[in-house]
Amino acid sequence: MYRTFVLLCYLLSFYSFGGEDRGTYIKDERYKVGDDIRWAAPDFTDNHWKAVFDGLPKEQTVYWIRSHVMVDAQASPAPMGVYTTTFGSYELYWDGQLIDKSGVVGTDQTSETPGPIVNISRVPDDAYTSGEHIMSMRISSFHSPDIAREAYFGQFFAPFEHLQFNRYKKNLPPIMILGGLLIIALYFLQLYWIYARDKPFLMFSLLCFAVSALLMTESYKGVFGYTYDWHIFRLTLVSFFTGLVSVLLPLFLLYQFELPFKKRLTLAATLVMLAINTWVSGYDFSAEMMFAVAFVWALVIALYAWKKHKQGAMLTVLGLLIVVLTKAFVPFSFQDSLFFPSFGILILCVLTTLTQRMKVTQQERNEALVNSAQLEIMLLKKNIQPHFILNTLTSIEQWIEEEPQTAVKFIDALADEFKVMNAMADQKQVPLAQELDLCRSHLQIMSYRKDMQFELTTTNTNPELLIPPAIIHTLIENALTHNIYLQGTITMTLTQSIVDQGICLELAAPLNLPKNHESQSSGTGLKYIRSRLEESYPGLWDLQEQQTAEHWITKLIFWERT
């Protein structure tokens, strides 16, 4: 936490941006529609002009702005610069002297050439003296859009070198953050496609891509610049990516902490962002509103996850609090300067939680591999038990001497069972049809050994149903082990049904228990079944046994993941 705090302080200090220099400041700004070069003269009287504060001309036209500038050359020595942003091309005059141009001022769209949306002009050193000066601007706005034309104007003084340097200083951290975000986004996208189809990885990748797009759109103005007629298009892109980030952030947290109602909450968030974009006037204000709703919503989700003891929730809450508190204590600089560094710290916090998630996922994978190998060994051991092999070899030896043809059939049946068992030994799930082939091969072997007829019938079974290998086979083994069958035909029945939105496989075996028998619920057989069910359906299965007058019934119930 200490390192995070130091990083935040560094970024905030790096992002400090000087406004109007107090040694040189604008005292009054007035405008008049029309075009007369005499209006640039310092001795011209503009008392009857309209105040810029009340709004610039609503129509596309040519107009002038005159500003009274108070200069204290000792407090703010030359060279000084003027930072100007407006919807129009202009000529800039200082005490009647032309000092800069932005685009080409015209009398219509054809004759006007749009100038940069932001321009930095240098005040001539010899004309920069203490006292009052007149700064005049001849402006044409024939390429400006109707929206915000009358309100979009900003101008202030600062040391010229400071303005030039600050243009790069302000945009350097976003560019650095942009590179890191793109690498993180690509990394987690690859993780999703190659390593694990984990939805939080995909959501985090999309969130990083969206923030990167927003950062590029925001920084383009300062890094590359553009003419003022493209400004509304850029603001529209900023609003779109702001809304996208505002939807993806809470959506990611819902997936990260495995909370319910993801689709409903995402739809609600999308509708809220669309409503803000539609009904809230002003691009900056609507963006602030979207971010405010998104971060408060995300903070509520993270606090709820923390209450539920979700892993990584506390660190996520810390990251969100840094963003929220930065917005609360530095509201005027947040949108333009402090959003990306504070959001970058949030990304670092979330990245830590995702790294922890990856570690847990890898541990679970390793445990699953070990568990799968153990189950495979257990399955193979079940069919090479010493007493089974010994009894089998004794039977074969006897049949070779007395009934060679029976011995050959028995060996073929034994080979069939081992062949099926070997084919499914390394599988986590097999089709029910393959499981039934294994069961019938085993019953055929036992029919030869017991000199009886063992059969398995099925009802409503789906041959393509995937189940863990050898679980029905194990239940049949238990039935043969715990019952004493002496003669006749013994028929076991397997029935498939739907129960409580799950699938139930019910095996009914004829009952003929010896005295002082052990429960069929004990032993390694059912331990194997429970392990296999937990591997395939973690926490979504049930094993039930019951005894009737004529049958021992075992039910295997498992539900699909929702």
pLDDT of residue 386: 58
Whether 12 has a pLDDT exceeding 50, the answer reads no
Whether 143 has a pLDDT exceeding 60, the answer reads yes
At how many degrees (to 10) do helices 262-279 and 283-307 cross?
160
Q: Please state the rounded mean pLDDT for residues 340-349.
A: 84
Residue-wise burial string across 32-53, b where 16 or more C-beta atoms lie within 10 A, e elsewhere: beeeeeebbebeeebeebeebe
Can you give the length of the chain in residues? 562
Whether 239 has a pLDDT exceeding 80, the answer reads yes
Give the global pTM.
0.64
Distances in Å between the alpha carbon of 316 and those of 299, 302, 306, 345, 419?
8, 7, 9, 10, 53
pLDDT top residue among 31 and 263: 31
Q: Please state the rounded mean pLDDT for residues 3-9.
A: 38
pLDDT in tens, 368-390: 555 555 555 555 555 555 556 66
Using an 8 Å Cβ cutoff, are 506 and 555 in contact? yes
Whether 248 has a pLDDT exceeding 90, the answer reads yes
Candidate ranges 45-54, 256-265, 340-349; pick with highest mean pLDDT: 45-54
* Cα dihedral value 383, 387, 389, 391, nearest 10: -130
Sheet-wide strand order for 453-459: 453-459, 489-499, 502-510, 551-558, 541-547
pLDDT of residue 175: 79
φ, ψ of residue 298 in degrees (nearest 5): -65, -40
pLDDT top residue among 277 and 455: 455
pLDDT of residue 220: 86
Residue 10 pLDDT level (bands cut at 50, 70, 90): very low
Structure tokens, 167:
């243009």
pLDDT in tens, 400-453: 777 777 777 778 777 777 777 777 767 888 899 998 988 888 888 888 888 889
Residue 326 pLDDT level (bands cut at 50, 70, 90): confident
pLDDT in tens, 22-47: 678 888 899 999 999 999 999 999 99
Whether 142 has a pLDDT exceeding 80, the answer reads yes
pLDDT of residue 381: 57
φ, ψ of residue 513 in degrees (nearest 5): -85, 145
Average pLDDT, the chain: 83
Distances in Å between the alpha carbon of 367 and those of 198, 362, 370?
18, 9, 5
Q: Could you give the percent of the chain with pLDDT greater than 70?
A: 86
Q: Please state the rounded mean pLDDT for residues 458-480.
A: 89
pLDDT of residue 561: 58
Whether 155 has a pLDDT exceeding 80, the answer reads yes
| Cα 211 from chain centre | 11
Beta strands in 103-225 (DSSP E): 118-123, 131-140, 153-159
pLDDT of residue 17: 41
Structure tokens, 124:
């001539």
Q: Which residues pair with 497 in a beta bridge?
A: 504
- Cα(315)–Cα(346) distance, rounded to whole angstroms? 9
